[in-house]
Every structure is written in C-alpha cells, then in structure tokens.
C-alpha cells in the first residue's frame, strides 16, 4: 500500500491513543493506492473493519493500526493538504486535500485558484450559491498572523502544539517524503525525526 504521511507531528496524543509502536508513521487515508491481491490475501481490509468496529474509531485510525509496517510513502503532491501546507501552491498538487476550509464550505484558507476551479464546475448547477458569498479573508489572515506567535505561545504549559508548529519545516518534510516516494521506501518514522527537529 502507498499513502501520504499525515502530519501527526502536531498531535502527539495519537501516539499514545492507538496501539502502534512508538515512532510509527501515520498516514492520511484521503488518497491510498492498494496492492489489492496482497490486501485480499492477508485480509487487511477485513481486519481494519474489525478494528474500527471493536475500537469505535474512524477508518483512518483502523487502517493505520492494521497496515503498520506494511506501507510505503506516496509522493506528498498526491495528497497535498491545505491546512498545514501553506507554502505549497494549489497548482503544485496532483490532488489537493482540503483538510481545513473547503471551497464548497467555509472557504477560509482555500486558495483563490481552487475557488475558481470549483466556481467553474458549479456554474449552471444548484451548487453555485456558496460561491456567491463573500469570501471571509479576515479569518484566514488572522489565523496566519496568530501563527507568528506560536513560538511564544509554546512557552506556556500544555501548549506543545504551538511549540511543534513553530519549529516545523513543511518544505523540508515535503522534500524528504518526495525522495522516499521516488525511492519506493517504506514509511518508517515520524517527520520530526526525519526532518531533524524532534
């Protein structure tokens, strides 16, 4: 199986919540390529469904538990997420994953190019109405401005997410994932270890 590593670096609680090895990578289930003969032979999807039902968890968590150690990194452009990857342009994505704002929803932090594509697709359909609303740029601008203070906020107790976000280098992690994908490497570590900012 090939998938794109999710930026679980920002949510360390997942490491303790799921029954995975410490430091095990975690993928985002937005776009996955399966080797179906092998998946069927090993009954991996059936096991993932059983894990999801027994643990009352979402599909992504269950798939990560069952496929631990059995997947390789997909090029990050195939699942380029909009919430943690502001340094990457919409046109760079092979498939854009709107993990934060959605073109058809709140539209906060959605690139103008993406809105133009969705507006064009919705033209002459009943789904055009959301694109007629004013785009709330202030919320996105305020969020980006507030992130400049992540390093300071990270000094407060129980603010580990801010500390992590302040030292995270998305471009470096993207390059590492791309290199691993091109080499067909198995996913082996969380990005902060690979990127050297653990």
The pLDDT > 90 percentage for the chain reads 17
In this prediction the pTM is 0.74
Cβ atoms within 10 Å, residue 148: 9
In tens, the pLDDT along 94-127 reads: 988 887 778 877 777 777 788 888 889 989 998 8
As a whole number of angstroms, the distance between CA 61 and CA 17 comes to 10
Q: Is residue 80 within a helix (H) or strand (E), and if so which, with residue range?
A: strand 80-81
| Residue 43: pLDDT band with limits 50, 70, 90 | very high
- Cα–Cα distances in angstroms (integers) from residue 22 to residues 4, 16, 25, 101, in the given order: 19, 8, 9, 31
In tens, the pLDDT along 46-92 reads: 999 999 999 888 899 999 999 998 999 889 889 887 665 466 778 88
> Who contacts 182 (Cβ-Cβ below 8 Å, separation ≥6)?
75
């Amino acid at each position: 199986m090939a998938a794109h590593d999710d930026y679980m670096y920002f949510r360390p609680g997942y490491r303790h919540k799921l029954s995975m090895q410490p430091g095990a990578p975690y993928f985002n289930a937005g776009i996955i390529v399966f080797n179906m003969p092998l998946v069927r032979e090993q009954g991996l999807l059936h096991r993932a469904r059983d894990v999801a039902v027994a643990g009352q968890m979402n599909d992504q968590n269950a798939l990560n538990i069952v496929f631990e150690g059995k997947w390789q990194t997909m090029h990050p452009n195939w699942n380029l997420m909009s919430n943690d990857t502001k340094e990457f342009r919409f046109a760079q994505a092979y498939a854009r994953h709107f993990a934060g704002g959605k073109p058809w929803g709140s539209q906060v932090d959605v690139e103008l190019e993406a809105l133009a594509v969705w507006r064009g697709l919705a033209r002459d359909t009943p789904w055009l109405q959301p694109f007629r609303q004013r785009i709330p740029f202030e919320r996105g601008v305020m969020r980006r401005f507030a992130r400049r203070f992540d390093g300071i906020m990270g000094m407060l107790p129980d603010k580990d997410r801010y500390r992590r976000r302040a030292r995270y280098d998305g471009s470096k992690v993207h390059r590492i994932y791309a290199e691993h994908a091109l080499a067909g490497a198995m996913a082996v570590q969380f990005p902060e270890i690979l990127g050297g900012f653990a």
